[in-house]
Amino acid sequence: MDFTYTETQDMIRDTLARFLADTYDFETRQKFINNDEGRDPAIWTALAQELGMLGAAFAEEHGGLGGGALENAIVMEEMGKVIGIEPYLPTVVIAGGALKAVGGAQADAMIPEIIAGNAIIAFAYAEPQGRYDLANLKTSAKKDGGGYVLNGHKSVVYVAPWATHLLVTARTGGGQRDADGVSLFLIDAKLPGIVRRDYPTVDGSRASEIYFENVAIPADALLGGEGAALPLIERVVDEATVATCAEATGVMQKLHEGTLEYTQQRKQFGVPIAKFQVLQHRMVDMFMEVEQARSMTIMATLKLGLPATERMAAVSAAKNKVARGAKFVGQNAIQTHGGIGITQELAIGHYFKRATMIEGQFGTADYHMDRYERLALAE
């Protein structure tokens, strides 16, 4: 049992933190999220080619640094600290995770492209009727000659407007909510019949509604077994959920630090409002939520390799705690700032918006508590 980071992990964190301090200050971020594309592509390229950061979680045989979930957590936490909108989560954590799990020729072909910064992969899994149920799919992939034909509607696909590829869940068999019959495809984002409606998200990113209209996809787009991909999808979504907890930790830390700083400057009744005990205790409660979010992220990261039941219980415990903490820290950061907190002017509100979206990402606190109860509190 060991709770320390390796030197390499410390180096990854420091390198990334320095890079983001130079490139991702709040004003710069606001500028590029509001340009036409909604991002600065040079940052992603630099992360890949100057820092080698996109390879941190991949094996050396694919050109990576040999890391895994801990490295993903480190990167995501630092991204959270700058409310980064880079497509690390769907590209590296989710698609990269699925490719690592599947291995073979698909991994050999695609992982080097991810590491080089050439591939951006969006994860098209949610559907209007499905809420957080990964198996609730109307999107279908029907066998057709040597390949498949894809039809359906995917909701709120983050980073899809920038994507070179889409990772798509679709039904190749079974009923709408069956565990069997779920398949996973990695496809070119520009295939004929893919219709996107792009829009900005409230937390500064871009997303799309995606409609597949008789999209012909090749047979080798299938990742894992046909109709048997649900366990793989559940696993990568668990990995993504923990990575999101890590991001939340970074976001929450900044919400807390920003509030500490503000209360020491802001004067009312002739003194900095940080002198008031009621605010001090609130900021201590926020601090404790940040630390517990960090603890839960580490807990779940270390348990990602356990058998599915234990892994899922650990991930749900973490997401529940982090979602509750993110709400508490976010809302109290705004309350403590007062009126200025509800304007677009300060960074604090933008951190709050990201924290709020993270609460629901891959399942709300209640969703995860339900799952935790089913797994850990059997009658």
Partner 1 sequence: MDMEFSPEDLAFQQEVRDFIAENYPAELRGKQDEGEELSKEDFLAWHKILYKKGWIAPAWPVEYGGTGWTPTQRFIWSEETARADCIRLMPFGLAMVGPVIYTFGTPEQKAHFLPRILSGEDWWCQGYSEPGSGSDLASLRTTAVRDGDDYIVNGQKTWTTLAQHADWGFFLVRTDKDAKQQEGISFLLIDMKSPGITVRPIITLGGEHEVNEVWLEDVRVPVANRVYEENKGWTCAKFLLAHERTGIAGVAASKRGIEKVKAIARTELDGDKPLLANAFFKRKLAELEVDLTALEFTELRSLAGANAGKGPGPESSLLKIKGSEIQQRLTELTLEAVGHYGAPYFRGFGEGDNEHPIGPDYAHRAAPTYFNMRKTTIYGGSNEIQRNIIAKMVLGL
Count the site residues for partner 1 by CB under 8 A: 39
Q: Where does 75-181 show beta strands of DSSP type E?
A: 121-124, 140-144, 147-158, 165-171
Among candidates 249, 186, 239, 248, which has minimal Cα distance to 57?
239
Minimum CB–partner distance for residue 327 and partner 1 (Å):
14
Q: Can you read off the two tokens belonging to residue 320? A: 């529940």
Question: Is the CB of 5 or the CB of 199 nearer to partner 1?
Answer: 5
Going residue by residue from 310 to 339, which x/- string records binding to partner 1, judged by CB under 8 A? -------x--xx------------------
Query: Are residues 313 and 376 in contact, defined by beta-carbon separation less than 8 angstroms?
Result: yes
Does residue 57 bind partner 1 (CB under 8 A)? no
What's the closest the beta carbon of residue 113 comes to partner 1, in angstroms?
29
Q: Is 283 in the site for partner 1 (CB under 8 A)?
A: yes
Amino acid at 114: I
In the bound state with partner 1, the residue whose beta carbon lies nearer, of 77 and 86, is 77
When asked if residue 274 is in the footprint of partner 1 (CB under 8 A), the reply is: yes
- Nearest-angstrom CA–CA distance, 210 and 224: 23
- By CB under 8 A, residue 265 contacts partner 1: no
**CA 166 – CA 256 distance, rounded (Å):** 36
CB of 296 to partner 1, least distance (A): 5
Q: Which is nearer to partner 1, 47 or 314 (CB)?
A: 314
* Nearer of residues 221 and 313 to partner 1, judged by Cβ: 313
Stretch that binds partner 1, among 27-35, 56-64, 103-111, 257-265 (CB under 8 A): 257-265
Instruction: Kindly tell me which of 105 and 378 has the beta carbon lying closer to partner 1.
Output: 378
What gap in Å lies between CA 126 and CA 115, rounded to an integer? Answer: 26
> Among 113, 133, 178, 291, which residue interacts with partner 1 (rule: CB under 8 A)?
291
- x/- mask, partner 1, residues 236-255, rule CB under 8 A, reads --------------------
Under rule CB under 8 A, residue 47 binds partner 1: no
Q: Which two tokens stand for residue 175?
A: 């009923």
Residue 191 DSSP SS3: coil
Task: Tell which positions 132-161 bind partner 1, by CB under 8 A.
Answer: none
For residue 336, the tally of other CB atoms under 10 A from its CB is: 22
Residue 2 binding partner 1, by CB under 8 A: yes
211 vs 287, beta carbon nearer partner 1: 287
1 binds partner 1 (CB under 8 A): yes
For residue 351, which amino acid is it?
A: Y
User: Exposure of 137 by Cβ count < 10 A (0-12 exposed, 13-18 middle, 19+ buried)?
Assistant: buried
- Pick from 295, 331, 342, 356: which binds partner 1 (CB under 8 A)? 295
The amino acid at residue 214 is N
Among 277, 307, 339, 344, binds partner 1 (CB under 8 A): 277
What span, in angstroms and rounded, lies between the C-alpha atoms of 91 and 61?
19
Euclidean distance between CA atoms 193 and 180, whole angstroms: 26
Nearer to partner 1, 153 or 266 (CB): 266
Please give the distance of CA 237 from its chain centroid, rounded to a whole number.
9
β-bridge partners, 354: none
Tell me how far apart the alpha carbons of residues 247 and 351 are, in angstroms, rounded to a whole number.
11
Per DSSP bridges, beta strands 140-144 and 147-158 are antiparallel
Per-residue tokens: 61: 């045989």
Residues that bind partner 1 (CB under 8 A): 1-6, 9, 70, 260, 263-264, 274-275, 277, 280-281, 283-285, 287-288, 291-292, 294-296, 298-299, 302-303, 317, 320-321, 369, 372-373, 376-377, 379
